[in-house]
């Protein structure tokens, strides 16, 4: 892929380096491990990888707490290992997108250590510091996503600092131009090192309300009707009085884009967790071609795997994001694996995994896969003693945290830790039930979920209408998801039966069938003018434009 907008419609494979492949026996994956397995990733037919953070970090939030943005944590390797990874990825035709966690740092970052040391030093204003209220309590009612107030008292400065996530992840003060400049330098460091793109963590959290106003208990928001109810975590949803368009962020993103455009062929994908307002935010961040290239939301990361839900999300995206670009995903390192999340029973997981990639591949936008989903891995059942995610440890057992989707890749069915590590202990256990789903087993089985993923990704690639074409919904049965994708005179009709039983559906009168294509793994066909679909099945028909 050499076109500069290779990212448009690309298939991106997310690697969580901690859990991909360990090469030094410490039970934790590393960059050399990723390099070793790039051949496997390339064999999936994807265009790019997204690497979760591998930077120097005390790992309080598994690397989303960065202590040095411009170095590799010794646990993951060295900068030379990164260079090696880049070289091998490019040799295999894979682009490399790296995570940038710019909204906050670790409390061990030298910037924060300096900032907390004194109220008047060069970095004093690099974080969000505030005096307590007269009664000594926190400056306002903002909450942290990871529980409790968003404010932590610092005994040295005798002030509170703000953190959207852990107390050990202090928020940078983006209102300070020096902070912005320093972060742009970080991005440039990786641009120079060859990174093809950046996944921008919590991109809608960069700016905070400068006046530190309390969040209202209840918000009437015409843009986001779902937010009329009091929210569990109002600040988490950015649901506060602050100007929702965050004009400063648009200006920052323009500066970022100007920098990135100096390096041809690079891209950005922003993570937007903005509740019901997310798609509006995506539109604002990706329109005009002068801010982000693409964004992804949490819309399809919900437990809802119904035609209605997908239709609602995609329709809203189509309506709101006119000249922007979205990236869709069913799974990532923060949510329950979708083979489990979308299934009503263990028996239907495989069928759900198969249908999920058929649908994802047919959507308009770029698509993100999360390591292991191509094996149809279910969420790992872990005991409290196994947990490493601070978020899970804090809310157990009401919420079990994110470790269940972060267990190691299963390369072989036998062997030490399923081929993940030769060490004694792996940082999270390999679940017994994952072993039968190993890459080794699935490579050997022609009809495996893994091979189904490969064929489906190849099918998407072979049809430009799927990668870049327009999308128009077609009205059919409520639990049937149907739309066409068009490009240059080619019109493909996709019909997915999301019911847990077979059904026949009538083709809309205006459709002229040209040819039923062989959509990998799907058995849908046309009989006597009816579309005949199995349970959790699909069909692709070339129709008259």
Q: Which residues bind ligand TEU (CB under 6 A)?
A: 61, 64, 101, 145, 165, 201-202, 273, 333-335
**Class of residue 298 by CB neighbours under 10 A (exposed 0-12, middle 13-18, buried 19+):** middle
Is 201 a catalytic site residue?
A: yes
**Most distant CA atoms of the chain, gap in Å:** 80
* Helix (H) / strand (E) containing 23: none
Min dist. Cβ of residue 202 to ligand TEU (A): 5
Give all strands of the β-sheet with 129-130 in edge-to-edge order: 129-130, 159-162, 151-154
Q: Which is nearer to ligand TEU, 81 or 403 (CB)?
A: 403
User: What is the gyration radius of the CA atoms in the chain, in angstroms?
Assistant: 23
Q: Which is nearer to ligand TEU, 278 or 456 (CB)?
A: 278
Q: For the chain, first and last CA: distance in Å? A: 28
Asked whether the CA dihedral 141, 147, 151, 153 is positive or negative, the reply is positive
Min dist. Cβ of residue 236 to ligand TEU (A): 7
Q: Which is nearer to ligand TEU, 154 or 201 (CB)?
A: 201
Min dist. Cβ of residue 149 to ligand TEU (A): 16
Please state the three-class secondary structure of 340-367 as a single string. HHCCCCHHHHHHHHHHHHHHHHHCCCEE
- The residue among 95, 75, 82, 92 whose CA lies nearest residue 26 is 75
Q: Which is nearer to ligand TEU, 179 or 362 (CB)?
A: 179
Q: How many whole angstroms separate alpha carbon 356 and alpha carbon 408?
A: 22
Q: Token pair for residue 27?
A: 């039970």
Q: Measure the CA dihedral 61/67/69/75, to 10°.
A: -70
Q: Which is nearer to ligand TEU, 145 or 195 (CB)?
A: 145
Min dist. Cβ of residue 49 to ligand TEU (A): 16
CA 375 to centroid of chain Cα atoms: 18
Q: Report helix angle 349-362 to 449-462, nearest 10.
A: 10
Min dist. Cβ of residue 369 to ligand TEU (A): 16
DSSP state of 386: G
Pick the catalytic residue from 81, 201, 336, 350. Answer: 201
Give all strands of the β-sheet with 530-533 in edge-to-edge order: 503-506, 530-533, 525-527
Q: Which is nearer to ligand TEU, 106 or 448 (CB)?
A: 106
Q: How many whole angstroms separate alpha carbon 68 and alpha carbon 485?
A: 44
Pick the catalytic residue from 196, 271, 299, 318. Answer: 271
Is 24 a catalytic site residue?
A: no
- Residue 104 pairs with which residues in a beta bridge? 171
Min dist. Cβ of residue 412 to ligand TEU (A): 28
Q: Which is nearer to ligand TEU, 147 or 464 (CB)?
A: 147
Min dist. Cβ of residue 259 to ligand TEU (A): 22
List active site positions.
201, 271
């Amino acid at each position: 892929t050499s076109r500069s907008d290779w990212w448009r419609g690309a298939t991106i494979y997310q690697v969580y380096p901690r859990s991909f492949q360990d090469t030094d026996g410490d039970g934790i994956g590393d960059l050399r491990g990723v390099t070793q397995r790039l051949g496997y990733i390339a064999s999936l037919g994807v265009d790019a990888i997204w690497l979760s953070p591998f930077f120097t970090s005390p790992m309080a939030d598994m690397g989303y707490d960065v202590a040095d943005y411009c170095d590799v944590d010794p646990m993951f390797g060295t900068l030379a290992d990164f260079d090696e990874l880049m070289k091998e990825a490019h040799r295999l035709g894979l682009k490399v997108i790296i995570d940038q966690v710019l909204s906050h740092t670790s409390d061990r970052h030298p910037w924060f250590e300096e900032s907390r040391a004194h109220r008047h030093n060069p970095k004093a204003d690099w974080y969000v510091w505030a005096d307590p209220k007269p009664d000594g309590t926190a400056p306002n009612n903002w909450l942290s996503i990871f529980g409790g107030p968003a404010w932590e008292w610092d005994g040295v400065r005798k002030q509170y600092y703000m953190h959207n996530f852990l107390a050990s992840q202090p928020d940078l003060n983006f209102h300070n131009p020096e902070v912005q400049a320093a972060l742009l330098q970080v991005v440039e460091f990786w641009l120079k090192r060859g990174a093809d793109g950046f996944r921008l963590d919590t991109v809608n959290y960069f700016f905070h309300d400068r006046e530190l106003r309390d969040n209202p208990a209840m918000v009437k928001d015409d843009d986001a009707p779902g937010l009329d109810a009091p929210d569990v975590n109002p600040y988490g949803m950015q649901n506060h009085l602050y100007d929702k368009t965050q004009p400063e962020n648009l200006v920052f993103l323009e500066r970022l884009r100007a920098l990135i455009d100096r390096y041809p062929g690079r891209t950005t994908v922003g993570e937007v967790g903005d509740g019901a307002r997310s798609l509006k935010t995506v539109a604002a961040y990706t329109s005009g071609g002068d801010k982000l290239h693409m964004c992804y939301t949490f819309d399809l990361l919900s437990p809802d795997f119904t035609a209605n839900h997908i239709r609602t999300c995609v329709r809203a995206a189509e309506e709101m994001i006119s000249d922007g670009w979205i990236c869709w995903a069913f799974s990532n390192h923060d949510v329950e694996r979708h083979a489990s999340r979308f299934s009503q029973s263990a028996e239907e997981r495989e069928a759900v995994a198969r249908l999920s990639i058929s649908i994802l591949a047919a959507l308009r936008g770029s698509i993100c896969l999360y390591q292991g989903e191509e094996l149809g891995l279910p969420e790992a059942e872990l005991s409290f003693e196994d947990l490493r995610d601070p978020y899970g440890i804090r809310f157990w057992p009401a919420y079990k945290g994110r470790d269940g989707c972060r267990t190691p890749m299963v390369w072989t069915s036998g062997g030490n830790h399923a081929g993940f590590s030769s060490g004694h202990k792996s940082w999270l256990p390999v679940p017994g039930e994952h072993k039968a789903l190993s890459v080794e087993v699935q490579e050997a089985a022609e009809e495996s979920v893994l091979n189904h993923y490969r064929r489906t990704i190849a099918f998407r690639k072979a049809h430009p209408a799927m990668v870049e074409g327009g999308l128009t919904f077609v009205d059919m049965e409520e639990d049937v998801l149907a739309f066409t994708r068009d490009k240059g005179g080619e019109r493909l009709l996709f019909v997915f039966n999301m019911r847990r039983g077979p059904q026949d559906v009538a083709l809309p009168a205006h459709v002229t069938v040209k040819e039923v294509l062989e959509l990998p793994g799907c058995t849908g066909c046309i009989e006597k003018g009816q579309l005949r679909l199995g349970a959790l099945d699909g069909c692709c028909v070339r129709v008259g434009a």
